Amino acid sequence: MARYARVKGSIALITLTNPPVNALSAAVRRGIVESVSRALKDEQVKAVVFCGENEKFCGGADIKEFSGSMSGPPLVPMIHSIEAGEKPMVAAIEGVALGGGLELALGCHYRVANTKARLGLPEVTLGLLPAAGGTQRLPRLIGIPAALELITTGRHVSAQEALQLGIVDQVAQGSAVQAAMELALSVIGVCVCMLCVYVVCVCIYCVCVTGQPLNPRRLSLRAPVWAPDVDGVCDAALAQVKQRSRGAMAPVACVQAVRAAAMLPYSKGMERERQLMDTLFRSGQARAMQYAFFAQRNAGKWSLPNGSQWNNTRARDVQRAGVIGLGTMGRGIAVSLVKAGISVVAIEMDAKQLESGKKAVTAMLQRDAQRRGVSPPLHLLTFTLSFHQLRDVDLVIEAVFEDMNLKKRVFSDLCKVLRANALICTNTSGLNVDELAAVTDRQPLVVGMHFFAPAHVMKLLEVVYGSRSSPEAVATAMALGKRMEKVCVAVGNCSGFVGNRMLKLYLDQSVYMLEEGATPEQVDQALEEFGFAMGIFKVSDLSGLDVGWRVRKASGLIGPDVDPVKPSRWRLGRRYCPLPDMLCQQGRFGQKTGRGWYLYDSPGSKEAKSDPEIQTFLEDYRRKYGIIPRRITSQEVIERCAFALANEGFRILEDRIAASPEDIDVIYLFGYGWPRHRGGPMFYAGQVGLSVVLEKLEHYHRVHPDVPSLEPSRLLRRLVAEGSPPIQQWKSHIKNLRSHL
């Protein structure tokens, strides 16, 4: 779908029409090919302008088409025929020009962008490379280093930056289409300043350049962009992406393709681009990353078991919010709210805490504003010790210490001062939202908003609906989270919700492997090679080992009846590993104390070093319990961690705590550092093969019968029995299963 119109007498205006982002579907490509051919044949037409409907140029190739068999005119020859066209072609970029959209614009002879436009080649984030000539044309336009940076990160740039880089020729304050038409007219020799009467080469009044030859504008005709230091630049980029991408193939292929633009003529470079793309396109990594793209968008389309959902429930407008508690979480939440333009009343219990919270929040906002070259919105903040200041807020987010009694006290105090229709949200990471709601006078207006630390940085937000939460409260929390630029997932209420409920089993497996013979370094290395940004023991040190210790004490797993010399490895009817408790007893709380599973130069420093004391500690422990250490392979580490996660994910689906496997994967991708090129734990299980996962879990459960969580879930068994359907169909196999709602 592309609309053709002749405007201003001599310009063909080709408008891409495929809402919402004018993706280059087969129909759009067909429309473009037909329109270009019509424009080239029409003698009245002297120049062509491309634009997109609804002020969005083009969001790139239609990603939905990647999973089926491709039909319609291919992108590469289509763009080539635009570039080769004998009439000037101008791209009028409004909204976005991404991926194939920017590659189409690079095939044009001129590019004009509106000030608000964003441009980029984000294919790398989909496990691909810009294979419609992007890796060959962009370096020829802006040079190797800049092209490498844009293509390997997939970063979007503003129109202004695009102008500085040389990607666009002009930035228009108003309509880019209007500006592109004026540029087109000037290029074909019609000066638009109305002062000159002749068709000229350079109009002396407005200095527009007319009658330009097209060959210098055809990027494919430019020679390779070789420079003496090009090898070094590409080698450095390769080393950097290998380190950053942790096993993802696409960034490496992007560097290889751009290197070809430096060494090879355009046609050979295109061959290289195609070969690399073929490899990526067939890879499981590209499928995983495209799945993640749609899973992220689907998470916003929440639904509750009572039929309420994102498109039939209105969210309330939130102008003023309260934040209770200015610890690490409260500070990050306050910063995110203020950045979203919401007035915040921030409360602490004592003056000292309030002062240090105020300093920290102010500093974070100042740093952020400085980076963006704006002034910090400090006028939106009120710091106070008085709950009375909350009387006219629309919503409160409680972020006090993770203690049920304390939270209950805060909730009932809030009811005394808040307006009757104000929402109360809790940032608990796993406590029962219903139990908290029960102490209030407004159970339908209570929901969980579980942020992840640091809350102003981490993208994930679990919105937890209790059994009495109203759809309107859920809609409001989801909309507020989106305004705070979070990826929001609606989840049901159970201990740990989705993310932390699964995390517990992953942590359990990791420490069991230490008992059996592994070291923290071995486990972490296997996980990092798999693609996690950080191994589980490094993450635990970063978050603080005392957090879990306190939770275990509160839940009765640690008490006075536990033998301090030889603590039991069997509690509440199952295997228990006391190693983390023993570390905490020694004051090893992780980074904050300079010692945890690793050693740090000083408290608070970040570089984890192996600690010989931990090796001795583990050896003594195994000796004490008569455990004969064995070699644990990386494969076993990954299987036990990843399959334990997925197995609990299946149980979460059975319990209807998550609406879909995609939601679980989004939680792991955005909250727990799961590598994007592996889709998420549920996608990974499907990719490995459900029958393989089942077989492995059966094996590990046989070997560890005292770990009931390793027993394969009912849903996994059912899916395997029904022929391992694709992940999109799992939901329909969850029948007659208990709901927590």
Ligand X SMILES: CCC/C=C/C(=O)SCCNC(=O)CCNC(=O)[C@H](O)C(C)(C)COP(=O)([O-])OP(=O)([O-])OC[C@H]1O[C@@H](n2cnc3c(N)ncnc32)[C@H](O)[C@@H]1OP(=O)([O-])[O-]
607 is catalytic: no
What's the distance, Cα to Cα, between the start and end of the chain in Å?
45
Residue span 124-163 as binding mask against ligand X, x where in contact by CB under 6 A, dash where not: --x-x-xxx-------------------------------
Residue span 260-299 as binding mask against ligand X, x where in contact by CB under 6 A, dash where not: ----------------------------------x--x--
CA 499 – CA 497 distance, rounded (Å): 6
Buried b / exposed e over 40-60, threshold 16 CB at 10 Å, is beeeebbbbbbbbbebbbbbb
The answer to whether 398 and 390 have CB atoms below 8 angstroms apart is no
DSSP 475: H
| Residue with smaller CB distance to ligand X, 99 or 322 | 99
CA 463 – CA 457 distance, rounded (Å): 17
Number of residues lying near ligand X (CB under 6 A) = 23
The answer to whether 266 and 700 have CB atoms below 8 angstroms apart is no
| Residue with smaller CB distance to ligand X, 151 or 396 | 151
Three-state secondary-structure class, residue 438: coil
H or E stretch at 48: strand 47-52
| Residue with smaller CB distance to ligand X, 294 or 617 | 294
| Residue with smaller CB distance to ligand X, 13 or 295 | 295
- Shortest distance in whole angstroms from residue 267 CB to ligand X: 17
CA 98 – CA 104 distance, rounded (Å): 9
How distant, in Å, are the alpha carbons of 184, 329, 401, 469, 659 from that of 450?
Answer: 53, 10, 13, 15, 17
The burial class, CB within 10 Å (0-12 / 13-18 / 19+), for 149 is: middle
In the complex, which residue's CB is closest to ligand X?
99
Interacting span for ligand X (CB under 6 A) from 55-63, 524-532, 597-605, 707-715 = 55-63
Q: What is the dihedral of CA 271, 276, 281, 285, to 10 degrees?
A: -170
Q: Which of 53, 83, 94, 123 is catalytic?
A: 123
The burial class, CB within 10 Å (0-12 / 13-18 / 19+), for 573 is: exposed
Q: Which residues within the stretch 14-33 sit at the binding site for ligand X (CB under 6 A)? A: 20-21, 23
CA 492 – CA 474 distance, rounded (Å): 11
| Residue with smaller CB distance to ligand X, 55 or 434 | 55
| Residue with smaller CB distance to ligand X, 266 or 589 | 266
- Shortest distance in whole angstroms from residue 5 CB to ligand X: 25
The answer to whether 455 and 294 have CB atoms below 8 angstroms apart is no
| Residue with smaller CB distance to ligand X, 158 or 362 | 158
In whole angstroms, what separates CA 371 from the centre of its chain? 21
Interacting span for ligand X (CB under 6 A) from 56-64, 261-269, 367-375, 539-547 = 56-64
- Shortest distance in whole angstroms from residue 48 CB to ligand X: 21
Q: Which of 83, 103, 462, 515 is catalytic?
A: 103
The answer to whether 117 and 93 have CB atoms below 8 angstroms apart is yes
103 is catalytic: yes
- Shortest distance in whole angstroms from residue 670 CB to ligand X: 15
| Residue with smaller CB distance to ligand X, 130 or 448 | 130
Which of 293, 291, 305, 294 lies closest to 658 in space, CA to CA? 305
Residues 6 or more apart in contact with residue 371 via CB below 8 angstroms: none
Q: Which residues are registered as beta bridge partners of 14?
A: 4, 50
- Shortest distance in whole angstroms from residue 174 CB to ligand X: 22
Tokens of 66: 């990647």
- Shortest distance in whole angstroms from residue 482 CB to ligand X: 10
- Shortest distance in whole angstroms from residue 245 CB to ligand X: 17
Residue span 295-324 as binding mask against ligand X, x where in contact by CB under 6 A, dash where not: --x---------------------------
Q: Which residues within the stretch 60-119 sit at the binding site for ligand X (CB under 6 A)? A: 60-64, 75, 96, 98-100
Tokens of 419: 């307006």
- Shortest distance in whole angstroms from residue 134 CB to ligand X: 7
Which listed residue (59, 88, 127, 471) binds ligand X by CB under 6 A?
Answer: 59
Regarding 478 and contact with ligand X (CB under 6 A), the answer is: no
DSSP 565: S
Which listed residue (94, 123, 515, 541) binds ligand X by CB under 6 A?
Answer: 123
The answer to whether 49 and 184 have CB atoms below 8 angstroms apart is yes
- Shortest distance in whole angstroms from residue 339 CB to ligand X: 17
| Residue with smaller CB distance to ligand X, 128 or 514 | 128
How distant, in Å, are the alpha carbons of 147, 347, 488, 550 from that of 255?
Answer: 10, 50, 33, 47
- The residues binding ligand X (CB under 6 A) are 20-21, 23, 59-64, 75, 96, 98-100, 122-123, 126, 128, 130-132, 294, 297
Catalytic residues: 103, 123
